[in-house]
Structure 1
């Protein structure tokens, strides 16, 4: 795989890697893992809210807008 970055993005990646004491490859891999975990959490939250909100919709309607 080839990752094409602008000069600015490459500079930022260099600085981030140096600040964290990691290789550029490791910084990118960790960023991918963090983004994937966030996506999964958002999906799980959406599933939970989809099940729970209908149960409490009457109460939420009575409480009105926040």
Structure 2
């Protein structure tokens, strides 16, 4: 795989790698893992809210807007 970055993106990546004592490849892999993890959590939260909010909709409506 080839990753094409702008000069600015490459500079930022190199800066992050140097500050953390990691390779640029490792920084990109960690960023991917973090992004994937957040997406999974967001999906799970959406599923839970989809089940729970309807149960409390009357109560929420009675409280009015925040």
What interval of TM-score do these two structures reach, taking the shorter chain for normalisation? Answer: over 0.9
Pairs within 5 Å for 1:1-66: 1-66=1-66
Q: TM-score, normalised by structure 2?
A: 0.99
Q: What RMSD, in angstroms, separates the aligned Cα atoms of the two structures?
A: 0.3
Alignment TM-score, normalising by the size of structure 1? 0.99
- Residues matched between the structures, number: 66
For residue 22 of structure 2, give the secondary structure of its aligned residue in structure 1. Answer: coil
Shift of 1:36: 0.2
5+ residue gaps, structure 1: none
Runs (5+) with no aligned partner, structure 2: none
Partners of 1:65 and 1:46 in 2: how far apart?
A: 21
